[in-house]
Structure 1
Amino acid sequence: MKKILFVVLLCLVSMPAFAKDKSVYDRVINSGTLRCGYAFWPGLMEQDPNTKTLSGLFYDYMEEMAKILEIKVEWTEELAYGDLPEALRTSRVDAFCAGAWTNPIRGKYADPLVPIVYQSVTAFKRAGDNRFDNDLASMNKPEVKISVIDGESTSVIARRYFPNATIQSLPQGTDGTQMLLNVITKKADIGLADAIMLKTVQDNNPGKLREVKLKYPLQVYGTTIWIKKGEPELKATLDNATQQLISDGTIDRLLTKHETAPGMYLRPQVPYQGYSHAAE
């Protein structure tokens, strides 16, 4: 009898080891809360230094998504962009909700949702510097210093297009404006940035920077939410909600609200867009 009881107890103790781990989708649906990681980027996600209140395009987007899914968004943890995959893998957060570019390296370790906006990344130089225009190869030389942030999309672009240049990597978590400020202060020759970052720097440094004239941008990325690899139910749920917000005009309204300069945000092309009262 004792042997039988021992076997039964052993089986009961061992069962959790063989139980399937609860998915992020199950946790979100059962709790009614999506735990969001975030990072700060001008326009996309910002914080009032006094009240600590969050705002920005992706803050508004997530709040709109929460409404139509009838869940709550919890802004759980501030992250560096480079920490995004690990924070998702270890379930510190359910999603990275502040908007991050869809670069392929990041896509090896996390899954993106449908982008709500696209952003072009371009090279910028000091005003008065007559080098580099219409000559991509001229930037791919050891004597050319290019300022990027380690582990982020700018470093991926630099490695792809300028493997022979001198890459100056700033630490993860560095304010993105520093890449362009390094150009202004002659610590670097080239900085890689989007239109949002350029405007942020130019507002305080008018006339100091100029875009390198090229036929095309160096890269165009979708900007979106990221979730843990292998969560198809969660991805389908959030993608479906996002598609509704795009097609009913909500996203276009939010882009217009947060667009501080023409052409700052590149709208997604959609097969059908029938505005509803959500667009007002």
Structure 2
Amino acid sequence: YAWSGHERLVGLAAVAVSLALDLRGIVRSVRVSAVLVVIVLLVLATLAVAWWSTDSAFPSSSPSSPPSGTDLLAASGLLFVAFAGYARVTVLGEEVRDPARTIPRAVVAGFAIVIVVYVMIAATVVAAAVSGVALSAAPLTDIAQAAAGEWLIVVVRIGAVVAAGAVLLSLLAGVGRTLFAMADRGDAPRPLSAVAARTRTPYRAEIAAAALAALVVAVGGIGFALGLSAATILTYYSVAHVASWRQGARIVPVAGLALCLPLTGGLIVAALG
């Protein structure tokens, strides 16, 4: 969506900027993320309204080639990445007021907003594809071109960059604090538990998380990053479900594990096939 042909350079620059913001403290990161999210929601709403206002917004036909079961599982596994962000909220318990009340509310509100947005965009993309819009690797710009022309393409490109930046900012904050918590317990190298005196930020863990993100950017493209992220998230969620069996109630962990395993398998089959 931005500066085609220089994706890795843009990605590395985004990692560096996100790290700099995270190192200044969680409050600054949250405020920046909130502003970015509002911008993204406005862009997506503008795109959806523009498309559904066109004459071809309501196609009379249906897709000619329905997806196979394997394709559906692989797509569901990738989509799981988009719903995994709530876990990053839970690792910020040490840095928010009244976490027992604040974090559950944030998780529920986040899920509600995300579901509405995803349904809106999914319906828009499917309707555009069925209506004959040729979709590329950047489908939202194709829809913008069909709906309103060049000005909306520019808006969508800006929204895509802002959306990726918001996700990266929250990702580094969450992963860095997960590494910090593990290091503090001795499950990760102890030096990662160091905290900056002024900002109370786990700076070594944040830098380590940024280094890992930069490595993913340097090695592969967006498909590789999404696939790797989905596979690792589903794997550690599966491990968490198994570990939670010791907490007593087993219905939820068993159900969670039963859902995670086929999604992981679908991703593996898609990658091999």
* TM-score, normalization by structure 2: 0.26
Higher relative contact order (CA 8 A, sep 6+): 2
TM-score normalised by length of structure 1:
0.26
Q: Counting strand residues as a fraction of each chain, which structure ranks higher?
A: 1
Of Structure 1 and Structure 2, the greater helix share is in 2
The structure having more radius of gyration, on CA atoms, is 1
